[in-house]
């Protein structure tokens, strides 16, 4: 069976260029998940074909280059293909991505013999429209869409222009859903918002790929207790709650490290300028982020259940944090399966004071106790959330789709 992965990951050859050319947050979490998906799916589909167009902001507001170059991609002996070039100009970008995706897929489908499964990463209208158009011609194609986020739930401050774009996207997607044979969801609650109907679906809330972790090492300061956060610096993700909670703690041997970019960046820079215990690293390469994670005393996800979007999402840092071997503190969220809380700490309520108290209570525990907590969490992720285990769910579902149709 031929399998094709249509995605938007960052090829190794373009990582530095994307880092240097991006203006604002970079989609590192989506990139990491896609690399893990390719690693896992390639174990079930020999010669997995890749059709890729990197997820970058549009020129000139969010990217410094007008075009994204084409490069060949090879992830292992079983997964290879092309990361396609496209015109990245705002207003033209999505049409260019549609044309390139359709052209590349058409060539692969013409050359295929027998059944074909196409995996689409994200409800990205250019990808969905391209696959839907081709499925009308190639009836034997089976389509599985992987949904990391629901359209309309990824921006907490939508502008009027964004609203218009969102409605256009929703209209385009509605016309494409009929071509989908199966869904992979990051939260079971997504079925409430998607036209899944009687079609098969499976929850894969995330994947941890040990091979994708960098080797950057950050030295630990034994006398310092380090609290760490990485991710989008937006109000709804709770980063200001963490900042305020940390400032309630007066211990001089504590440090708060924050990595990322977003709307709260200026407020964090201001706090760091007035409190030497707060260290703002900005947006740094993922390898460095992972190094700071491993060197920390406690990793915190301060997002609360406030906002409907939390029901339909699984914070990617959850799995990455737990796999680090460092203790994790997070609130209960509808999108996170209950099993994860056995391996993490949870504040007693949603108040900032409770968050501050729990941070202090945790890091003052004996180091042996913290190491044991972190080690059990890491073992859980490596054992039950690795690429082979998680992608087997997808492979089994698509095998059943193929058998029943």
pLDDT digits 0-9 by tens, 16-58: 999 999 999 999 999 999 999 999 999 999 889 999 999 999 9
Do 130 and 47 fall within a single domain?
A: yes
Residues belonging to the chain: 405
What mean pLDDT do residues 256-276 have?
A: 97
Do 245 and 188 fall within a single domain?
A: no
- How many of the other CB atoms lie within 10 Å of CB of 31? 21
| pLDDT reported for residue 163 | 63
| pLDDT reported for residue 33 | 96
Q: Measuring CA to CA, which residue among 247, 198, 225 is closest to residue 353?
A: 247
Q: Is 238 left (phi over 0), alpha (psi -120 to 50) or beta?
A: left
Do 284 and 376 fall within a single domain?
A: yes
What are the pLDDT digits (tens) for 153-208?
Answer: 766 555 555 566 667 778 889 989 999 999 999 999 999 999 999 999 999 999 99
215 compared with 309, residue with greater pLDDT? 309
Q: How far apart (Å, rounded) are the C-alpha atoms in residues 277 and 96?
A: 47
Take residue 202 and report the two structure tokens written for it.
Answer: 């499976």
Do 242 and 268 fall within a single domain?
A: yes
Q: Is 197 left (phi over 0), alpha (psi -120 to 50) or beta?
A: left
CATH number reported for the structural domain that contains residue 23 in this entry: 3.40.50.2000
What mean pLDDT do residues 284-307 have?
A: 94
What mean pLDDT do residues 366-370 have?
A: 96
Do 158 and 221 fall within a single domain?
A: no
| pLDDT reported for residue 159 | 57
Residue 217 has pLDDT above 80, yes or no: no
Do 321 and 392 fall within a single domain?
A: no
Q: Which of 90-99, 111-120, 337-346 has the lowest mean pLDDT?
A: 111-120
| pLDDT reported for residue 153 | 78
Residue 215 has pLDDT above 90, yes or no: no
Do 128 and 108 fall within a single domain?
A: yes
DSSP string, 268-308: HHHHHHH-TTEEEEES--HHHHHHHHHH-SEEEE---S-SG
Which residues lie below 8 Å from residue 15, measured CB to CB, with a gap of 6+? 285
Do 179 and 57 fall within a single domain?
A: yes
Do 62 and 136 fall within a single domain?
A: yes
Average confidence score pLDDT of the chain: 93
Query: Which stretches of 175-296 are DSSP H helices?
Result: 239-248, 265-274, 286-295
- Domain of residue 42, residue span: 2-209+386-404
CB 324 within 8 A of CB 289: no
| pLDDT reported for residue 342 | 97
Do 87 and 19 fall within a single domain?
A: yes
152 compared with 386, residue with greater pLDDT? 386
User: Sorting pLDDT into bands at 50, 70 and 90, what band is 253?
Assistant: very high
What mean pLDDT do residues 255-275 have?
A: 97
Do 187 and 68 fall within a single domain?
A: yes
Q: What is the number of structural domains in the chain?
A: 2
In the chain, % of residues over pLDDT 90: 85
Q: How far apart (Å, rounded) are the C-alpha atoms in residues 311 and 334?
A: 5
- The pTM for the full model equals 0.93
What mean pLDDT do residues 380-393 have?
A: 97
What are the pLDDT digits (tens) for 296-324?
Answer: 999 999 999 998 999 999 999 999 999 99
Q: How far apart (Å, rounded) are the C-alpha atoms in residues 307 and 295?
A: 32
Do 267 and 173 fall within a single domain?
A: no
Which residues lie below 8 Å from residue 66, measured CB to CB, with a gap of 6+? 59, 87, 88, 89
Beta strands at 225-230 and 254-259: parallel, antiparallel or unpaired: parallel
Q: Which of 66-75, 84-93, 146-155, 321-330 has the lowest mean pLDDT?
A: 146-155
């Amino acid at each position: 069976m031929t399998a094709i992965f249509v995605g938007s990951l960052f090829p190794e050859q373009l990582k530095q260029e994307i880092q240097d050319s991006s203006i604002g947050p970079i989609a590192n979490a989506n990139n990491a998940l896609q690399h893990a998906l390719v690693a896992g799916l390639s174990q079930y589909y020999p010669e997995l074909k890749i059709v890729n167009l990197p997820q970058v902001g549009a020129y000139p507001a969010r990217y410094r280059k007008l075009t994204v170059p084409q490069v060949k991609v090879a992830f292992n002996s079983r997964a290879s293909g092309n990361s396609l070039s496209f015109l990245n100009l705002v207003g033209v970008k999505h049409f260019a991505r549609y044309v390139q995706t359709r052209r590349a897929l058409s060539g692969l489908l013409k050359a295929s013999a027998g059944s074909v499964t196409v995996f689409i990463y994200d409800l990205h209208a250019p990808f969905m429209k391209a696959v839907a158009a081709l499925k009308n011609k190639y009836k034997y194609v089976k389509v599985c869409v992987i949904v990391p986020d629901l359209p309309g739930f990824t921006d907490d401050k939508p502008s009027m222009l964004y609203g218009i774009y969102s409605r256009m996207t929703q209209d385009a997607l509605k016309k494409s859903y009929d071509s989908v044979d199966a869904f992979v969801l990051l939260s079971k609650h997504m079925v409430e918002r998607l036209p899944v109907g009687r079609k098969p679906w499976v929850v894969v809330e995330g994947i941890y790929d040990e091979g994708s972790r960098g080797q950057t090492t950050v030295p630990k300061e034994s006398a310092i207790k380090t609290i760490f956060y990485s991710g989008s610096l937006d109000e709804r993700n709770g980063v200001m709650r963490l900042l305020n909670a940390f400032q309630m703690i007066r211990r001089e041997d504590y440090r708060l490290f924050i990595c990322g970019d977003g709307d709260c960046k200026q407020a964090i820079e201001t706090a760091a300028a007035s409190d030497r215990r707060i260290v703002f690293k900005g947006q740094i390469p993922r390898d460095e982020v992972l190094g700071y994670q491993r060197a920390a005393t406690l990793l915190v996800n301060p997002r609360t259940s406030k906002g409907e979007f939390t029901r339909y999402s699984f914070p990617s840092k959850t799995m990455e944090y737990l796999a680090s071997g460092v203790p994790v503190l997070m609130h209960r969220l509808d999108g996170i399966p209950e099993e994860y809380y056995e391996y993490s700490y949870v504040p007693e309520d949603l108040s900032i004071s409770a968050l501050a108290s729990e941070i202090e209570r945790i890091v003052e525990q004996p180091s042996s106790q913290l190491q044991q907590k972190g080690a059990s969490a890491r073992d859980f992720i490596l054992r039950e959330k690795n690429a082979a285990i998680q992608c087997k769910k997808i492979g089994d579902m698509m095998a059943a789709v193929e058998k029943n149709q």
